[in-house]
Chain A
Amino acid sequence: MPHINLPEEYPGIRSLFMFSPVTALPLNNLVQTLLHDPATSTLTPGERELIAAYTSSLNECKYCSNTHGAIAKYQLGGNSTVVKDILQQDVANAAISNKLKALLHIAGRVQQSGKSVSEGDIAQAREEGATDREIHDTVLIAAAFCMFNRYVDGLATWAPADDALYDAIGKQRAAEGYMTKPFVVDHPA
């Protein structure tokens, strides 16, 4: 049960957006720019969602890892195998570029602590073709999901058990971005 009185028909962060619309607006603007808008980064929306899903899985945030895994799947043209590998933290064997592997490694460091990102981690990403801006965006996405994961779990929001629900949310967010209305779900799913 959530630690505060949240509307029951919305899962995860959506219940928090309903509870506090004033903070929901900048939070949604942040992910819209950071993850969804194709023009704001040379990383594709699918790559960015994989970084979000990976960080969330390392933080063991069920709602965020399932949701961003599902969004990544739709952003990657339905590639559920890659998403499964990333959510199982099997970066080495995932069918992704070496550049993205190096960036996911940096994201994993950031999840532990910003201080654990080493010169060697950065050099490796650069060697695989990552730009300064891509390194920046990776660090910020990982840092942002250390925020979102803590917000969602720190208030003990409801994480549905139904995989089909996450898939439906993922399909909607991949198509519409983050600024449209949330799903209403019969509780408990």
Chain B
Amino acid sequence: MPHIPLNEKLPGITGLLDYRKDTALPIRELTQILLRGPSTLTEGERELIAAVVSHGNECAFCTAAHTAAADVLLNDTTIAEKVKHEPEAAPVSDKMKALLAIARAVQKNGKLVTTAMADEARAHGATDMELHDTVLIAALFSLYNRYVDGLASITPSEPAFYERLAAILKDKGYLPSENRYADL
């Protein structure tokens, strides 16, 4: 049961973003820019960063949601699983492997990102903006994971729920919209 009263029809983060809307708006705007805005990383690659950080924080709701979002955007249900459990064997570029290693360090503490890790990413073609966005996405999910679990929001167990949520995240993005969760 959540630590505070939340709308029962809105599990996980959705109920929290509904509970306090003035703080939800900039959080949603930031997420839209980072995960759906113009970038040299694909939407699928950016969702992988979100999934890996959420997995590291053991946030079941966010991990399932962003794994499902990555699956649908990459049109492949094996990549996110590999990236979470066997990152070295995952079928992603060497640049993404280096960026995901940085994301995993950020998940623990920003200070764990070393110059060598940044150099490794750069050696595989990562730009300053890609490094920046990777760190900020990983930092943002360090917020989300704590928000979701810190207030003990509901984590649905039904896999189909996350497929429905992923479809909303793919089609509508992260900004507020009319009847956003009607199909949830």
Contact = CB atoms under 8 A, between A and B. Distances in A.
Contact of B143 (A61, A133, A144, A155): A144
Main secondary structure of the interface of A (DSSP, over half): helix
B8 to A, nearest CB: 15
Contacts of A106: 150
A140 B16 CA distance: 10
Interface string B1-25: 0011100000000001001101101
Contact of A117 (B102, B113, B150): B150
B3 A122 contact: yes
A33 B22 contact: yes
Interface of B: 3-5, 16, 19-20, 22-23, 25-27, 29-30, 33-34, 37, 57-59, 102, 105-106, 109-111, 113, 115, 118, 128-129, 131-132, 135-136, 138-140, 142-152
Nearest first, the 10 closest Cβ-Cβ pairs linking A and B are: A114-B149, A153-B110, A154-B110, A114-B150, A143-B146, A150-B139, A147-B143, A26-B26, A4-B128, A154-B135
Main secondary structure of the interface of B (DSSP, over half): helix
Contacts of B57: 113-114
Interface stretch (A14-22, A73-81, A97-105, A164-172): A14-22
Contact of A3 (B3, B113, B146): B113
